[in-house]
Structure 1
Amino acid sequence: MSIYIGNLSYQVSEADVTAVFAEYGAVRRVQLPTDRETGRMRGFGFVEMSTEAEEQSAIDALDGAEWMGRDLKVNKAKPRENRGSLGGGNRRDSFSRRY
């Protein structure tokens, strides 16, 4: 399981996040997604810690805390939903049905 961190400053680095979360336990991984087109950080990230107890301790301490001028949103990450394809079906079939 991992922790979701929202409302991050765009200047934050993985080292910054690691340092803050390390106060609550061993940080296994930090992921800060970036925009594909601009390369700019998207303002949220994920942290994996060694144990659920460490994760919960970090969530309890940091949710709503001010950091780098922003109030953090910190909670357990939800599993990613399968969005499916954007095309809405097989194009060849829909083409052949119309003509």
Structure 2
Amino acid sequence: MKILVRNLERTVPEAELLELFKQYGTVASCNLVLDAETGKSKGFAFVEMPNGREAVKAIKGLNTLRLHGHGIRVKAAEEK
């Protein structure tokens, strides 16, 4: 399941985000979205978790978590 993580403080490193999600199960990928010009975080990321149950637990467990002073928003990503 692909998960969208929003409202990230722009200094949160991808490795820290990966460790948060690993607490809930297997993570296939973790991609912090960066600005092409500046190389800095845009404040959101996509996490892929192959096990649906683990992904749902991660969404429920991490949504509204305060990380670096920001309440992050975590939900299933919508397919385009």
TM norm. shorter chain > 0.5: yes
Q: Decide which structure has greater strand share.
A: 2
Q: TM-score, normalised by structure 1?
A: 0.76
Q: Which has the higher contact order (CA 8 A, sep 6+)?
A: 2
1:48 aligns with 2:35: no
Other-structure match for 1:21: 21
Q: Decide which structure has greater helix share.
A: 1
Other-structure match for 2:64: 64
Residue 4 of structure 1 deviates from its aligned partner by: 0.2
Residue 50 of structure 1 deviates from its aligned partner by: 2.5
Name the Cα RMSD after superposition. 0.9
Large movers: runs of 4+ above 4 Å: none
Unaligned runs of 5+ in 2: none
Other-structure match for 1:5: 5
Q: Tell me if structure 2 keeps the 8 A contact 1:8–1:72.
A: yes
